[in-house]
Chain A
């Protein structure tokens, strides 16, 4: 239950719960007290020098940009530290914060576990996000994959480098793949506008729009044809 400050009509107060406010209590907690965050540009620069991998997705023009730094224990292949910074709204901040906790809790996820992390898992831990804010959590796991790839690259494990979970990157700026388009279609987005609403594909990288339209037709045919 979120306490609404100031006077609220008694009839209203009874109905103001987490859902009728903007976000859940979990989102609120992580927004106001983000975990594992690098609080200044200076902290970020210093941490970058000692981190094992760094990944970045999004752009400020799209309204979301995330950067993630990781430290990996090479013997156990586990992620020991996961730090981050973000330009974005409350749900972007909260979803990256909670993801960073998930990655390092209980001694840390193995790289394999971390790569299997799905946006859905993050949203679940936040006890839900408004549907239109879902893409914020999608960016978190993408930034993490990018950081892991960067770790593979820097540590010379070239054979382990993956192109975005084995998928074709269609939107080069937001790093949206054919798999994301597939998911969006499966979730009921059946034309370009609906898919763009869900994924933000093509908002900035307009060159990918024809390809996205092709993919939508392909998946619609495949699943609903």
Chain B
């Protein structure tokens, strides 16, 4: 039996989603742009999905642009806005997903924009005061994530959106990790642009959206047939979008009960791991975190080795270790919290989901202590937590 603790990477589809998608994969497969009934039916279904999502996030349907996922939405928000401005200053945080960080980095290196990366405190929460202080005359965009994908910390985006509004600066939030458990009504959280995707909430991969408040001008990144009101060309992913709408509706309807259930399992996991395995600790704020995220450092060993040994027991997790990143840099998020590199290399992220129960934690704890002990045995490093924290 496999134990999947990597729901922040992606999820399985829930059956309700598979079911509605199947209809549009096999029967109602038309192109919404076609001039016949087959196309019209797809067009109507697409419109209904858009309206469903608009209702959930509290906006007008015309303010939603469907995209090919979270990465594309973040790119569209940041590049689309800056392309219409030529130059200016962007504020973002030091713990964003690469979809945001690398886009900002690109604009800084190649397009002449200035970027300020505001830091986080030792619990991984963005410092609102730093955001306020970073604002300049020419600041055109603030992009701060709603909830972090590695350590699960929830950011004070309402406070930041108030600051942004006050100064007339566009505020984008990457809410990919938030839609399963947090309030994503744009009227409540006050953002101007918001990125969402389907693959973290039991919907399909490669489908996302960008909410763009009316009046904000974006230059499209993809030109062609003029779909999505000329803002994102290409035949619409009708089954994907319909699956996304269904997944989002269910996730938001269940968010309180499912969060409560996950939180209990999460806290059980954290307690057992930290209590039973020496020199281990939780990364990120203990309360201001996603209900399904536990990120734990195991000192003196390296994350990739832990993952591969757990993999043998069909327990699936991820790590902030350098060896599991393409760039050989350890997690920028854990380092941003002021943790030494040693702590990032041995960090393991457990992210829970619908199919997990406390039993999975018990299964984990049957093997994890031995894995950690084995790797510590062969490690020549013997640091103590209090020496480096």
Contact = CB atoms under 8 A, between A and B. Distances in A.
A132 B304 CA distance: 14
Interface in B330-389: 330, 340-342, 345, 374, 377-383
Given A90-B304, A93-B305, A63 B380 contact: no
Nearest to B328: A132
Q: Which of B341, B374, B378 has the most CB of A within 10 A?
A: B378
Nearest to A66: B380
A88 B305 contact: yes
B321 A89 contact: yes
A15 to B, nearest CB: 19
Interface residues of A, number: 35
Interface in A33-86: 34, 37-41, 44, 56, 60-67, 85-86
Given A63-B322, A65-B381, A87 B300 contact: yes
Given A6-B2, A62-B341, A132-B328, A87 B304 contact: no
Interface in B144-198: none
Interface residues of B, number: 29
A41 B373 CA distance: 11
A9 interface: no
Nearest to A44: B380
Contacts of B308: 22, 31, 90
Contact of B328 (A6, A66, A93, A197): A197
A211 to B, nearest CB: 21
A86 B304 CA distance: 13
Contacts of A91: 323
A86 B323 contact: no
B314 A133 contact: no
Nearest to A88: B302
B36 interface: no
Contacts of A56: 380
14 contacts: A39-B374, A40-B377, A41-B382, A61-B340, A63-B328, A63-B330, A64-B302, A85-B380, A86-B378, A87-B380, A89-B324, A90-B304, A91-B323, A197-B327
Interface of A: 5-6, 22, 31-32, 34, 37-41, 44, 56, 60-67, 85-93, 132-133, 135, 197, 200
